[in-house]
Amino acid sequence: MVERRLTGMIAAAAVLIVLFVFWDLLRPAPQPVAAESDEPVRIAEPAPAPPDAVPPQAPATSTTTTQGNAVPLDPGGREPSYFELMARSETRRRIRSSGTTTYLGEMIDASGDSMLRRWENRQTTPIRVYFAPTHAANFQPAFVDAIKSAFDLWSSAGVPVRFNFDADSTNAEVTVKWRIQFEIERTGQTDVTWDENGNIQSAVVTLATFDPKGRPMDADDIRVVSTHEVGHVLGLDHSKDSADIMFPTAKVRDLSDRDVRTVLLLYQLIPGSLR
Q: Could you report how far apart the first and last alpha carbons of the chain are, in Å?
A: 78
Instruction: Compare residues 54 and 71 and give the one whose CB is closer to Zn ion.
Output: 71
Find, among 114, 73, 38, 80, the residue nearest to 201 by Cα: 73
Smallest distance, Å, CB 179 to Zn ion? Answer: 16
Site string for Zn ion, 61-100 (x = CB under 5 A): -----x----------------------------------
Smallest distance, Å, CB 207 to Zn ion? Answer: 12
Smallest distance, Å, CB 174 to Zn ion? Answer: 16
Q: Among all residues, whose Cβ is closest to Zn ion? A: 66
* 214 phi-psi bin (left φ>0, alpha ψ -120 to 50, beta other): left
Smallest distance, Å, CB 211 to Zn ion? Answer: 15
Smallest distance, Å, CB 209 to Zn ion? Answer: 18
Within 10 angstroms of residue 204's Cβ, the number of other Cβ atoms is 19
Stretch that binds Zn ion, among 59-67, 84-92, 216-224, 265-273 (CB under 5 A): 59-67
Smallest distance, Å, CB 263 to Zn ion? Answer: 14
**Backbone φ and ψ of 178, nearest 5°:** -125, 155
Within 10 angstroms of residue 145's Cβ, the number of other Cβ atoms is 13
- Helix extents (H) in the chain: 2-26, 82-97, 104-110, 141-156, 219-233, 257-266
Positive/negative CA dihedral, 96, 102, 104, 107: positive
Instruction: Compare residues 66 and 209 and give the one whose CB is closer to Zn ion.
Output: 66
Instruction: Compare residues 167 and 208 and give the one whose CB is closer to Zn ion.
Output: 208
Instruction: Compare residues 66 and 206 and give the one whose CB is closer to Zn ion.
Output: 66
Instruction: Compare residues 45 and 183 and give the one whose CB is closer to Zn ion.
Output: 183
Instruction: Compare residues 70 and 167 and give the one whose CB is closer to Zn ion.
Output: 70
Count interface residues toward Zn ion (CB under 5 A). Answer: 1
Q: Tell me, what DSSP letter sits at residue 100?
A: G
Bridge partners of 192, per DSSP, are 64, 203
Give the residues lining the site for Zn ion (CB under 5 A).
Answer: 66
